[in-house]
Each structure stands twice: as structure tokens, then as C-alpha cells.
């Protein structure tokens, strides 16, 4: 754990005179930029720097003998990144990064090699590849599947994504224009589903508190009498604990939730928007076994037809030997058991 962030109620201003030495003023925008720049600078590195700097050092002074700090959030948590950098500089504590709960390595634009170069050790969720030699096989410490044994109450549980209203994000490939394309694909998907099936779908929206910035909700794009036939669940409900209640899971993007559903052994259909999330040529066969067994679809029309076909009794398809073999083979190739990482940590020098 990291110490709590200390937020000060002060506002430091830059010395505008000094700024003028570094910014050449050629027009009104340059003047405007100098006047507002102090509002754009992260508070962690200005107003809140001194108090957090000292607080972090005091907190970790109790752990000076530690050799490593284990973390998986530094990529999208500025404060965690700041803490890790500071204690590495001051106390020489090294950083072990455990891959966040998503399989990004097969896709174009992933950051695996960059991450390996900025951490001391990186451990994957369970995969290993000659194309990423610095990424060591590990496992997540996160519990991907719930042990709950419950009565099924959702005929079809639809778990959706949420789009950030920005043009580009390293955290989220489906943002801005790509995000709208994803929503329109889902709109076409639901147009192919008959009303009697739509009425059996319970929609679990993406938690709004897990994305930064302005978000565009799927309801804002898919607003129609047909989409309104879906029964909406609270977006703050945890997908991990909803999945066991589903007879069939419909997941509209490759995500952590997809791993949860596979691990839970709940009948699952996942949509892969391959034009938005293309595979690297070295991993072009990554999803083949799941596609062959109708677990992953890159064609929304085939997916909608298959759901209509099996929605009344998804277990008949899911329990087939070839379907279960495909599920287990994919998991064994990519997701290692939690104990594997614990043993790795214990054995690290």
C-alpha cells in the first residue's frame, strides 16, 4: 500500500517573468498560455509536491530493508508512479510490475516492451513469448473468478464498455472516433436480435468511476425503443459477482471481464472488434481456437444469430467437449493460477 495523497488548498503560481525566457511570445495565444500554465501543471509536482514528498519518504522509511515493491497500477496511477520512482531513487527499492488484468500483448499498439524497459521486472498473467523476452511468466494476484454457488437469475447478462470522449488514450483503444465506431457496431448487433431475446437481456453498464475524463454512455448512442427492452442493472455492481448469476454472458469487447467469465466457466460469448483492435502478425492465431468454438466472434451478425440459436439452453453448447477444451487451452496458454505468482515472489532474490 502507498500512503494517502495529501492535497493542499493552496495554488502556487509560476513566475511569469521566468516563463517568458522559455516560451517565445509571438501571438495572443502565447500570452494566454503563460497566464494559464500554472493551472495545467499537475498539482502533485507543484502545490502538493513538498508535503507528499516528505510523507512518502517517512512512510517507506519503515521498509528500507525491502528489496522490491510489487505493483500493477503505476501505468494509470500517477501517484503510484511517483511513489515508486521516489523510493527507488532514495531507498533503492526495485519495482516488480505484474501485468494488469488484460491480455494486451497480441495486439498492435501494446506497450509491453516499453513497460519492460521502465520496471526492474515484469511478470505476465501467465503467457510467455519469444517476442517479449523481458516479460517473465507469472500470474495475477487478482481473483478472476468468484467461488459463489448461486441460482441463475439472468438469462443473458450483457456487460458493456464505456467510451472516453478523447481522440487518443494509451489506456483505452476504444475512445474518440474508435469508440463511436464500437457503439455503432453494437447498435447494428442489437438490430439483429429479435424482441423476445432482447427482453431476456440484463445490461450491466461499465462503472463510470473507472474511467477518467468525459465519457459517452452506450445508452446515449443506442437510445431506441429496441435497446430500451434490455433490463438495466446498476453500473456500480461488480461484474465478478454478477457473472455466476448468468445463464449466458455477452461481453462486447475483449477485456478483464472476458477473462473473468472464461475462468468462471459461465457460458460466454465475446465480440472482438478486430478493425479497432487488430492483432500483431506474430499473434494472428491468438483467438482462433475461441472463434472456432463460437466463444469469440469478429462478425456481429454471426454472433447475433448464434445467440438467438442457443440462448434458451446455452449449457448444451458450452458443456460440449470441444468447447470446454478450447476454453481450457486458451486459459492454460495465457492465465496462470494465482499460486504461481506467490511462489515466484517467494523465490525472488
* pLDDT tens per residue across span 219-244: 777 777 778 889 999 888 888 899 99
What does pTM read for this prediction? 0.86
Residues 270, 296: contact at Cβ < 8 Å?
yes
Least confident piece of the model among 157-166, 183-192, 303-312: 157-166
Q: Residue 142 has what pLDDT? A: 82
Q: Check residue 226 and give its pLDDT.
A: 78
Give the pLDDT band of residue 70 (cuts 50, 70, 90).
very high
pLDDT of amino acid 219: 77
pLDDT for the residue numbered 216: 74
**CA distance to 137, 198, 215, 257, 272, per residue, from 186 (Å):** 35, 13, 17, 17, 11
pLDDT in tens, 9-28: 766 655 666 666 777 788 88
Position with higher pLDDT, 146 vs 347: 347
Grid cell in block for residue 179: 469508440
Q: Are 177 and 223 in contact (CB under 8 A)?
A: no
The model's pLDDT over 77-113, given as tens digits with 9 standing for 90+, comes to 889 999 999 999 999 999 999 998 889 999 998 999 9
Look up residue 233 and give its three cell numbers.
442493472
Please check the confidence at residue 214 and state whether its pLDDT lies above 80. Answer: no
- Closest to 160 measured CA to CA, from 229, 220, 245, 217: 217
38 pLDDT exceeds 80?
A: no
* 213-247 residues labelled b (16+ CB within 10 A) or e (exposed): eebbbbbebbeeeebebbeebebeeebbebbbbbb
Mean pLDDT score of the chain, rounded to an integer?
Answer: 88
Who's near 349: CB < 8 A, 6+ residues apart? none
Summarize the confidence of residues 26-55 as an average pLDDT.
84
The model's confidence at residue 134, banded by pLDDT at 50, 70 and 90, is very high
Amino acid at each position: 500500500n502507498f500512503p494517502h495523497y495529501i492535497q493542499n488548498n493552496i495554488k502556487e503560481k509560476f513566475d511569469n517573468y521566468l516563463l517568458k525566457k522559455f516560451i517565445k511570445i509571438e501571438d495572443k495565444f502565447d500570452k494566454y498560455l503563460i497566464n494559464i500554465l500554472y493551472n495545467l501543471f499537475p498539482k502533485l509536482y507543484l502545490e502538493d509536491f513538498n508535503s507528499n514528498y516528505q510523507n512518502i519518504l517517512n512512510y517507506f522509511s519503515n521498509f528500507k530493508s525491502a528489496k522490491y515493491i510489487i505493483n500493477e497500477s503505476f501505468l494509470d496511477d500517477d501517484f503510484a508512479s511517483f511513489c515508486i520512482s521516489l523510493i527507488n531513487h532514495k531507498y533503492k527499492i526495485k519495482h516488480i510490475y505484474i501485468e494488469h488484468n488484460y491480455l494486451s500483448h497480441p495486439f498492435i499498439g501494446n506497450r509491453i516492451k516499453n513497460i519492460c524497459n521502465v520496471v526492474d521486472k515484469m511478470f505476465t498473467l501467465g503467457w510467455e513469448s519469444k517476442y517479449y523476452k523481458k516479460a517473465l511468466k507469472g500470474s495475477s494476484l487478482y481473483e478472476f473468478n468468484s467461488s459463489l454457488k448461486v441460482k441463475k437469475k439472468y438469462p443473458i447478462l450483457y456487460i458493456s464498455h464505456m467510451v472516453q470522449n478523447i481522440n487518443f488514450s494509451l489506456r483505452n483503444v476504444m475512445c474518440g472516433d474508435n469508440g463511436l465506431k464500437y457503439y455503432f457496431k453494437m447498435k447494428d448487433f442489437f438490430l439483429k436480435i429479435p424482441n423476445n431475446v432482447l427482453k431476456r437481456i440484463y445490461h450491466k453498464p461499465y462503472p463510470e468511476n473507472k474511467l477518467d475524463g468525459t465519457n459517452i454512455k452506450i445508452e446515449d448512442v443506442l437510445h431506441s425503443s429496441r435497446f430500451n427492452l434490455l433490463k438495466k442493472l446498476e453500473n456500480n455492481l461488480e461484474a465478478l459477482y454478477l457473472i455466476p448469476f448468468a445463464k449466458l454472458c455477452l461481453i462486447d469487447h475483449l477485456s478483464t471481464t472476458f477473462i473473468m467469465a472464461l475462468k468462471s466457466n459461465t457460458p460466454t460469448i465475446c465480440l472482438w472488434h478486430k478493425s479497432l483492435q487488430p492483432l500483431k502478425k506474430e499473434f494472428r492465431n491468438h483467438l482462433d481456437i475461441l472463434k472456432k468454438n463460437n466463444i469469440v466472434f469478429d462478425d456481429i451478425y454471426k454472433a447475433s444469430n448464434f445467440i438467438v440459436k442457443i440462448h434458451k439452453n446455452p449449457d448444451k453448447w458450452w458443456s460440449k467437449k470441444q468447447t470446454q477444451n478450447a476454453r481450457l487451452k486458451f486459459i492454460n496458454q495465457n492465465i496462470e493460477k494465482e499460486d504461481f505468482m506467490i511462489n515466484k515472489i517467494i523465490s525472488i532474490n
